[in-house]
Amino acid sequence: MIKSVHFQNFRALRSATLPLERFTLLVGPNGSGKSTAMQAFSFVLGRSSFSFQEWLTVGLERSEVVAVRVTWVEDGQEFTTGGELRSSSSFTVREELNTDTPPFYAGKLRDYLSSFRVFSFDAKAIAAAVETTPNPQLGEDGSNLAAVLDALRDSHPERFEELNREFNRWLPEFDRILFETPTKGRKSFLVRMAIGHHRLRASELSQGVLFALAFLTLAYLPNPPSIVCFEEPDRGIHPRLLMDIRDAMYRLAFPENYGEKREPVQVIATTHSPYLLDLYKEHPEQIVIAHKDKQGVHFERLSEKPHLNEILEGAPLGDIWFSGILGGVPATP
Amino acid sequence: MKIAVVSESPADEAAIKILVDAIIGHETELVSASRLRPGGWPQVLNLLPSIAKALHYHTDAEGVAVVVDSDSSPVHLLDQPANENCDSECRLCLLRNCLGNSLLRVSPVPNRASLRTAVGLAVPSIEAWYRCGLDLHVNEARWTGKLSGERINYSKRSLKVDVYGSDQPSLQAETTAAVEAARRLAHNMDQLSQLFPSGFGCFLTDIRNWL
Ligand SMILES: [Zn+2]
């Protein structure tokens, strides 16, 4: 599990440490560095194409260094790895910072970080008919869902049945996911109405239903990615489903609580919605607030705020955060 | 001096700070401005204890200024015995007591004086203050008459239209008009406290007591 990510001169993150739990809700207004922070892992893996100048915090001298350090805990041991960019006259020098990590763990951490996905669903992409390929993966925009569901039904029918039951619990108007083959080698999915068994094509479903189905599918995969981020998971979701979305994310992060035997997924959800935040009042250790001030962006774990219980007493957490007194004041709506 | 402002709309924050500066006689520094999720009055009262405690523990604000609209609640009665609500529905009394009780219970923070408070009640809404000096018919006495059944020639909605040119202004238009009005009122505090002796008068007295 990744314990923290430290940023140095990394765009808006001049000097900031993002603490992470198995599940972390990262709260902050737009432009508070949430998305920038989520680029850390591809930076560490050396997969980002940006140059030194594009990463360096605006206004800094070229003599500065851009660096990201990831602290990772595995088998009870702590390892730090990272990447660093510096400018040498006309070209960028990239260095890896994992000198103290034994090769076995360095490789494991690379695999862990490589599996990272940032999901930001798109209704059209989710509903699209797709080519069937072996071992399909869900795209970051939710694309390929039909193929992923179809593969789940074939290889893990019991999981697929459980997913159908949960889908019906979330949205009682529907009782089953079905498939069709619009043209040879392509798949799309449909849902069946509970009453009358009328079928609706994926393209006829609302955005909220499609997003819910994408969340649910990820939560029921036998081998989900090791670490995922959901950007604005409440976007397009009906408020009555927010608690179910939270539980789908918890199912990924805390499989043991849901009778799952697979490895936990480390989940990061980013939001600027007070409504989602209301669901986490009992877990301030899972909430990190992104603040932006003159010195740049800082991350602060809510549970580390002094006198927190006294302050939270009696009012919804979302209201309290929205009021701005916990920091990370939301931009004017 | 460092202050915090709590109001029902972010558009009013800057305007209220201008009024506070005018009363104090020099420019203050805004350390915290609280925004409220749309939800109106009950939310202000629910949230105020949390806001007061967070200001006490997490900021170096020296004073907090709270201004809310009275809507259809009663106008505060002056000359009340201390610690007694003039009316169970009076928002000014409710806010004063709520702030007082919350701050009584906080534990001391080294090198921090206790937070000073000021509560204003805009009757029936802050747009009435913004109209002061432009329309003498808009005042607390008139609105008190309306609450007891008299016919008057303005409403919360018509005040909005008069101030912003629309009853659903954009936030930017609202902020611009609010700031412009506050700058004008800053030179005319006497008239504002004459026409709004209770809701603004109490606010003025509270802030003068900070000095
Ligand atoms: Zn009163």
Looking at residue A163, which CATH number applies to its domain?
Answer: 3.40.50
Q: What number is the average pLDDT over the span A114-128?
A: 96
Answer yes or no: is pLDDT of B200 > 60. Answer: yes
CA A260 to chain centre: 20
Is A305 at the interface with chain B, CB within 8 A? Answer: yes
Answer yes or no: is pLDDT of A64 > 80. Answer: yes
Please give the mean pLDDT across all residues of chain A: 90
Q: What number is the average pLDDT over the span B96-104?
A: 93
Calculate the alpha carbon distances from A130 to A150, A187, B80 in Å. 11, 5, 74
Query: Under a CB-based contact definition with an 8 Å cutoff, are residues A143 and A74 in contact?
Result: no
Position A35: which residue type? S
- Clarify whether residues A3 and A100 are in a common domain: yes
Query: Under a CB-based contact definition with an 8 Å cutoff, are residues A71 and A78 in contact?
Result: yes
Read off φ and ψ for residue B177, nearest 5 degrees. Answer: -65, -40
- Clarify whether residues A124 and A171 are in a common domain: yes
Read off φ and ψ for residue B25, nearest 5 degrees. Answer: 95, 0
Computed from CA positions of residues B107, B112, B116, B117, in that sequence, does the dihedral angle turn out positive or negative? Answer: negative
Q: What number is the average pLDDT over the span A292-307?
A: 87
- Checking DSSP bridges between strand A266-271 and strand A23-27, what pairing results, if any? parallel
Is A321 at the interface with chain B, CB within 8 A? Answer: no
Query: Under a CB-based contact definition with an 8 Å cutoff, are residues A227 and A113 in contact?
Result: yes
The residue among A28 and B28 whose pLDDT is bigger is: B28
Q: Per mean pLDDT, which range of A226-235, A318-327, B65-74, B100-109 is the poorest?
A: A318-327
Determine the structural domain holding residue B175 and report its residue range. 2-208
Position B143: which residue type? W
- Strand (E) or helix (H) holding A187: strand A186-193
Per-window interface: B 58-117 vs A, CB < 8 A:
58, 106-107
CA B168 to chain A, closest CA, distance in angstroms equals 14
CA B208 to chain A, closest CA, distance in angstroms equals 25
In a domain, A203, yes or no: yes
User: How many distinct structural domains can be found in chain B?
Assistant: 1
Determine the structural domain holding residue A213 and report its residue range. 119-223+233-264
In a domain, A228, yes or no: no
Q: Per mean pLDDT, which range of A80-94, A104-118, A274-288 is the poorest?
A: A80-94
How does pLDDT run across A283-295, given as a tens digit for each residue?
A: 999 999 998 877 7
- Clarify whether residues A43 and A92 are in a common domain: yes
Nearest partner of A171 among A142, A200, A151, judged by Cα: A200
Nearest partner of A327 among A313, A308, A22, judged by Cα: A308
- Checking DSSP bridges between strand A287-293 and strand A23-27, what pairing results, if any? parallel
How does pLDDT run across A177-227, given as a tens digit for each residue?
A: 999 998 998 999 999 999 999 999 999 999 999 999 999 999 999 999 999
Q: What number is the average pLDDT over the span B94-121?
A: 93
User: A310, A313, A317, A326: best mutation site toward chain B, by most B Cβ within 10 Å?
Assistant: A310
Kindly report the pTM of this predicted structure.
0.85
How does pLDDT run across B131-152, given as a tens digit for each residue?
A: 999 999 999 999 999 999 999 9
ipTM of the complex: 0.79
- Clarify whether residues A246 and A158 are in a common domain: yes
Helix axes A145-155, A157-170, angle to 10 degrees: 130
- Clarify whether residues A259 and A284 are in a common domain: no
DSSP 8-state assignment for residue A240: G
Bridge partners for A131 per DSSP: A186
At A92, the pLDDT band (50, 70, 90 cuts) reads low
What whole-number distance in Å separates Cα of residue A297 and Cα of residue A68? 15
- CB neighbours (10 Å) of residue A167? 21
- Clarify whether residues A125 and A109 are in a common domain: no
How does pLDDT run across B23-58, given as a tens digit for each residue?
A: 999 999 998 878 777 667 888 888 999 999 999 998
Query: Under a CB-based contact definition with an 8 Å cutoff, are residues B40 and B169 in contact?
Result: no
Of the candidates B37, B47, B57, the beta carbon closest to that of A306 is on: B57
Please give the mean pLDDT across all residues of chain B: 93
Sequence-ordered list of residues with C-beta below 8 angstroms from that of A59, at least 6 positions apart, any chain: none
Check residue B33 and give its pLDDT: 78
What whole-number distance in Å separates Cα of residue B197 and Cα of residue B187? 17
Sequence-ordered list of residues with C-beta below 8 angstroms from that of A177, at least 6 positions apart, any chain: A149, A160, A163, A164, A167, A189, A190, A191, A192, A213
Helix axes B91-104, B41-58, angle to 10 degrees: 30
User: How many distinct structural domains can be found in chain A?
Assistant: 2
Check residue B185 and give its pLDDT: 97
Check residue A333 and give its pLDDT: 39
Is A330 at the interface with chain B, CB within 8 A? Answer: yes
- CA A171-A174-A177 angle, to 5 degrees, is 115
What whole-number distance in Å separates Cα of residue A152 and Cα of residue A222? 8
- Clarify whether residues A100 and A123 are in a common domain: no
Position A53: which residue type? Q
Residues constituting chain A: 333
- Clarify whether residues A219 and A332 are in a common domain: no
User: B37, B41, B98, B170: best mutation site toward chain A, by most A Cβ within 10 Å?
Assistant: B37
Check residue A61 and give its pLDDT: 85
Answer yes or no: is pLDDT of B174 > 90. Answer: yes
- Clarify whether residues A150 and A249 are in a common domain: yes
Q: What number is the average pLDDT over the span A243-263?
A: 95
- Clarify whether residues A289 and A155 are in a common domain: no
Q: What are the DSSP E strand ranges found in chain B?
A: 2-7, 29-34, 63-69, 116-122
Is B14 at the interface with chain A, CB within 8 A? Answer: no
Specify whether the backbone of B165 is left (phi greater than 0), alpha (psi in -120 to 50) or beta. Answer: left
- Clarify whether residues A79 and A152 are in a common domain: no
Is A293 at the interface with chain B, CB within 8 A? Answer: no
- Clarify whether residues A36 and A14 are in a common domain: yes
DSSP 8-state assignment for residue B185: H
